[in-house]
Amino acid sequence: MRTIIHSQMKLGETDIASIVLDPKSRDDIPQLLRGLQYIYTETSLRERVFAILEEVLPERVGAEGKASSKTGRPGMEQWKILVLGVLRLGLNADYDRIQELANQHNTIRQMLGHSEWMDENRYELQTIKDNISLFTPEILDRINQEVVSAGHQTLKKNSEESLKARCDSFVVETDVHFPTDINLLWDAIRKTIKTCAQLCDAHDLTEWRQSVYLLRSFKKSYRNIQRLKHSTSKDEVKREAKQDQIKDAHQIYIDQANGFVQRARITSELLKNDYSLPSILLAELEGYVIHAERQIDQIRRRVLQGEMIPHNEKVFSIFQPHTEWISKGKAGVPVELGMRVCVVEDQYRFILHHQVMEKTTDDQITVSIVKQTQTRFPLLKAISMDKGFHSPSNQTELKEILERVVLPKKGRLSEADKARESEPEFVHLRCQHSAVESAINALETHGLDKCPDHGIDGFKRYVALAVVARNIQRLGAVLREQEKQQAERRRGPYKKAA
């Protein structure tokens, strides 16, 4: 049983519309809370956002579909989930800090609907994690559209005024270590052995009772390869002898790994057949075994057979398999491990839309992201992009759906291209395009430098929540600035006299 927010206020509780925020504070929290307060106090906006929040429900256990909002145990109110989720990304905070703020920060507790006294309600860490993970990228995208529309109205934008956007992509890193084929195999075998040991312990089997010793012996082989690779000998004969030692060490390493994989297969069959363990409980073990077999094959091919492994066959993390190896040619950043995210920002500094780019490049999503943004905001009439988004077909298709396309051409320019890129409006919008880097920097500062959430679904949810949090903070900053200007106008004569 869940509600968006309790309609009946408790004794000592402050109405959200009456919460007083320090107008002089330059911290992020008052900006975020002011944006959330505006969402709550504007009746029509609140109704639209609350209608979306009604869909934030957990999956029904053991069946398809969602749980009921009217039956079962009371769950966390969806308004509280939104507040805590926005604070997590807006402050670039981990769950421990969010728990501390939710339990100890008076203003935040008022925004969550708690009274200042005689309210002993406290949030558990796992409760916060479980509830924030109920958001989906689709729900967050719809909330984002409402927030952006509210921001446009707040800035008194003419309802017929066109939107001019700028688009760029950046890399959101995943929380992984630098991958090598030997440490990926170590990860896979380590998890295989530990998972087998845990399953056997649960069923009083002794097949993996020496799991600690097995891990220690396998790690010795792993460290031996690392030591041999770090050799700096310049003597040709010694170097060739060292290469032979490295190959022998790799052979021993993959032989040990093969032995553990075969034992894990036997254990899996034993648990499945003799103990009737469901396949779903063995899926995690099966995944680690598959990772181990792939790494054994690639080490054999690369080190022992001298073959170059194609890039599309490589996996850069067994825990975050969606991680990509991205080299954008930035100075001092030879490679980034993560995924590209493309954002579209308007002239009012609101992020209209974003897209997580799974194994795609800028030029492959150029037209699709513009069409998706235009579906959400039909007044989009102009957009600027950098050369990475260019292709002849992109130029042609964008001109059919937009009034102005600022998309510089790669390579040598023809006379027609020179004339097009010399037009005053093209030059003006291209000069303003660099402002999108400010939006990207703000996103990275407020959570999107590295994604700590697991899985591709967690990654997409984290990015979508970061965009919503950023737009709510932007909305709060605009409101606070307007309130500051109004206060200055009211005390204008006294200020001048002073």
HSE-CB at 22 with a 13 A cutoff on CA atoms is 10
Residues 290 and 372 in one domain: no
Single residue among 313, 330, 347 that ends a domain in this structure: 313
* Residue 165 bridge partners (DSSP): 346, 383
Quickly list DSSP for 312-354.
GG--S-SSSTT-EEE---BTTB--EEEEEEEEEEETTS-EEEE
Identify the CA nearest to 16 among candidates 31, 38, 32.
Answer: 38
Residues 148 and 202 in one domain: no
Is residue 2 situated within a structural domain?
A: no
What would the mean pLDDT of 32-45 be, rounded to a whole number? 95
Residues 359 and 445 in one domain: yes
Residues 341 and 469 in one domain: no
Highest mean pLDDT among 171-185, 225-239, 477-491: 171-185
What would the mean pLDDT of 338-359 be, rounded to a whole number? 95
Pairing of strands 351-357, 404-406: unpaired
**Overall domain count for the chain:** 3
Identify the CA nearest to 153 among candidates 242, 290, 44, 257.
Answer: 44
Integer Cα distance of 353 and 372 in angstroms:
8
Is residue 11 situated within a structural domain?
A: no
Residues 452 and 477 in one domain: no
pLDDT digits (tens, 9 = 90+) for 392-402: 999 999 999 99
Looking at 225-229, 343-347, 365-369, which range is the least confident one? 225-229
Range of the domain at 66: 16-152+460-493
pLDDT reported for residue 495 = 55
- pLDDT of 70 > 70? The answer is no
Residues 40 and 109 in one domain: yes
* Residue 281 pLDDT level (bands cut at 50, 70, 90): confident
Is residue 498 situated within a structural domain?
A: no
What would the mean pLDDT of 412-422 be, rounded to a whole number? 88
pLDDT reported for residue 413 = 87
- pLDDT of 128 > 90? The answer is yes
Is residue 8 situated within a structural domain?
A: no
Residues 330 and 434 in one domain: yes
- pLDDT of 279 > 60? The answer is yes
Residues 147 and 137 in one domain: yes
pLDDT reported for residue 65 = 63
DSSP-H helix ranges across 164-278: 181-202, 211-229, 236-273
pLDDT reported for residue 489 = 86
- pLDDT of 379 > 80? The answer is yes
Single residue among 270, 296, 313 that ends a domain in this structure: 313
- pLDDT of 235 > 70? The answer is no
Is residue 68 situated within a structural domain?
A: yes
Residues 408 and 284 in one domain: no
Residues 413 and 432 in one domain: yes
Residues 418 and 404 in one domain: yes
* Residue 372 pLDDT level (bands cut at 50, 70, 90): very high
- Length in residues, the chain: 498
Residues 399 and 482 in one domain: no
Torsion, Cα 154 156 160 166, to 10 degrees, reads -60
* Residue 411 pLDDT level (bands cut at 50, 70, 90): confident
